[in-house]
Amino acid sequence: MKLTDFKVLTFDCYGTLIDWETGIFTALKALLAKLPKPLARDAALENFARHESAQEVETPTMVYSALLNAVHRRLAREWNVAASDGEHDAFGQSVGEWPAFPDSAEALAYLKRHYKLVILSNVDRASFARSNARLGVTFDAIYTAQDIGTYKPDARNFAFMIEKLAALGHPKRDILHTAQSLFHDHAPATAAGLATAWIDRRHDQQGWGATMAPPGAPRIDLRFTSLGAMAAAHREALQAK
C-alpha cells in the first residue's frame, strides 16, 4: 500500500490537525487551579476523555460546544469545585482558540495539490469554521457530528461519509482515512473497510491522552509521527517514480 494509491484524504481534525490536547488543557486551567492539589496534564486529559466519551454516547445530537459545556460541568462535579455558568460556557466555546499543530497548514497546502481533502469531525460547524481559519486550506467537503447526529466512533459517521463521497464519484478504494485517534477513528474506519494512515502525534508520550483506549488493536496501514512527515513521504514517493 502506497500513499500514491489514493485520491481522497479524509481527516479527523482535533488531535490530528489541531492540537486539541494543548487547547483542552489550557481551557481547563481555570478549573484545575481550584483543586486543592495540582492535577498533572495527562491525568486531566484522561478525565476529560472519560467524560467527553460518556457525554457523546448520552447526548449524540447535542452540538459540540454545548457538549463541552456539559463536560466542564461534569468535571467540576467530579473534582468537587465550584464553577460559574460563564466558566462552563467559556470552555464550550474554546474550540476556536485551540492551536493548530505547527506543521498542519504547510502540509495541508502541499497535500491539497495531490488529493481531495475532506473533514470528518466530532465538532459542530461553527466551531470547525474557527479552526479552519488556522489551517489555511479549503476542504473539498466537511462532515461534522452536527450534520450526522452521532459522534465518532459510531459507525454511522463513517457510513455517512462513505455514502457522500461515493455520490461524488469516490469509492472506498480512493479513500485514505488520516487520523491520530485509534479510538475515535482507526477502529471504526477499519471496520468500515477504509485504509488508514495513523498520524501518531503522541508517539513520544505514554497513555492515550484526551481519547479513550481503542478496543483491541486496530489495523494500521500507514504510520507517520506528524502530518509533515506524511507530506514528505508523499513527495519522496513521487520522486521515486
Q: Which three cell numbers stand for residue 53?
A: 466519551
- Estimate to the nearest angstrom the gap between the alpha carbon of 181 and the chain centroid: 7
Strand partners, 8: 116, 175
- Nearest one of 73, 83, 82, 12 to 48, comparing CA atoms: 73
For residues 45 and 170, give the distance between their C-alpha atoms in angstroms, rounded to a whole number.
36
For residues 71 and 53, give the distance between their C-alpha atoms in angstroms, rounded to a whole number.
9
Annotated catalytic residue 12: yes
Q: What is the DSSP letter of 94?
A: G
For residues 207 and 48, give the distance between their C-alpha atoms in angstroms, rounded to a whole number.
14
Q: Which of 5, 12, 204, 221 is catalytic?
A: 12
Query: Annotated catalytic sites, by residue?
Result: 12
